[in-house]
Amino acid sequence: MTRVVNDEGLNLLFREARTHTVWRDQPVEDSLLQQVYELARMGPTSANMCPLRVVFVKTREAKEKLKPCLDAGNVDKTMKAPVTAILAMDIHFYEKLPQLFPHVDARAWFKDLPENVLEYIALRNSSLQGAYFMLAARALGLDCGPMSGFNNAMVDAAFFAGTTIKSNFLCNLGHGDASKLHPRSPRLSFDEACRVV
Ligand SMILES: Cc1cc2nc3c(=O)[nH]c(=O)nc-3n(C[C@H](O)[C@H](O)[C@H](O)COP(=O)(O)O)c2cc1C
């Protein structure tokens, strides 16, 4: 039997899911954040490397630490969001491969690669995981507001100093105020974006 997501699920995940910037005053429990991660982690990555690392910025103190790193246009929406996830990546993801891909010595495939190549690989795979993360959040009833308008070096210094972890993008999480949304921007049609050869 072919199993598919029903129309209601497709609406929730895709057709009616929007990028939110205005948040209702409704808290997000830590247990829900954990559920989001536990779904998102199941999405595929190269050699199951799972480079994504997440910091959930929730307290006032942590939000204040994030504030100076943000582009001006992203400050208000981020400070008012119940949670801001820093979706980051461990450039030395290969150190976890004995745990994550135990049937071969996958660590040896990556450990001597130059840092810029490791970063490229981590960026691809953590971006995929970031997309799984947003779909997981939407599946669990949260709204998302992804952002790349921030200073990565400042976020890395503030939250990941002395580690091999670097920020990829930010994602505000909460319950959005749909009445404040602009009309949805168009997407490319199948014929504009795809071809079957
Ligand atoms: C990786 C990424 C970075 C983004 N950066 C910003 C940003 O810095 N500030 C912002 O207001 N919106 C940002 N956006 C939001 C996009 O403009 C928005 O998702 C897109 O226009 C689609 O909107 P919709 O989901 O409501 O259709 C970003 C989205 C993504 C996925």
φ and ψ at 19, to 5 degrees?
A: -85, 120
Domains of the chain from N-terminus onward: 20-174 (3.40.109.10)
State the distance from the centre of ligand 1 to the C-alpha of 85, rounded, in angstroms.
Answer: 14
The mean pLDDT value for 48-66 works out to 98
State the distance from the centre of ligand 1 to the C-alpha of 163, rounded, in angstroms.
Answer: 28
Q: What pLDDT is stored for residue 8 in this prediction? A: 98
pTM over 0.85: yes
User: Which of the 8 DSSP states describes residue 19?
Assistant: B
Torsion angle defined by CA atoms of residues 77, 126, 50 and 129, in that order, rounded to the nearest 10 degrees: 60
Relative orientation angle of helices 30-40 and 115-139, to the nearest 10 degrees: 120
| pLDDT band for position 1 (cuts 50, 70, 90) | low
- State yes or no: pLDDT of 161 exceeds 80: yes
Protein residue whose Cα sits closest to atom 12 of ligand 1: 147
Q: Smallest Cα–Cα separation from 37: which of 98, 97, 102, 83?
A: 83
- The pLDDT tens digits for 111-154 are 999 999 999 999 999 999 999 999 999 999 999 999 999 999 99
